[in-house]
Amino acid sequence: MILRETLAELNEIELQLTKLPLFDYLKRGTSYVSVTEVGTYTGKPKSDKGWAYVNQHLKPELPDKPYICFYPMSKLRIPGANWYTLTYDERRQFMHDHGTVGRTYAGKIWQYITGSIGLDDFEWGVTLFAETPLMFKKIIAEMRYYEASSVYGEFPYFVVGTHMDNAGLQKMFLENWEA
């Protein structure tokens, strides 16, 4: 996961990667482009704590947790399950119920939602961080029973990985290149 202020900065990183000798041996699996955002169903923050939450999600500092899970998602637009034909109040209530589950994982999972409408194939990206990948399984399984997900959510794939800092990357590459 790479965060930058602009798409131009992301493109520059991609260009730098293509110039590495290692790049000849890499295969692009998938990519996802989105921008940080805060959900619209909770309304405008009314307190300093609320604004702190907004700012934390608009300019995130990624937590130093060993595991990461990413998945794109969209809301369905099919007959009988079209999210966008629900009233705003109905959507807000479904998202409140969905969020109630998420809040029970506070301190166990760190979540970042990014918007990708017009930038990628799906509407949002969800990135989770945790001390153990079992937390991803627990929260995702529990949230699937709430209508926001069970009736209206589309989740095409999940990617789980581990965090590696710069020192770990250098060690991995040096040990492999020297062997």
**Paired tokens of 105:** 């994982």
Distance CA 2, CA 41 (A): 27
Question: How many residues in total does the chain contain?
Answer: 179
Active site residue 71: yes
Helix (H/G/I), strand (E/B), else coil: 96: helix
Active-site entry in 25, 53, 71, 157: 71
Q: What share of the chain is helix, strand, coil (3-state, %, to 5)?
A: 40, 20, 40
Helices (H) and strands (E) in the chain, counts: 6, 8
| Residue 93 CB partners (closer than 8 Å, separation 6+) | none
- Catalytic residue numbers read 71
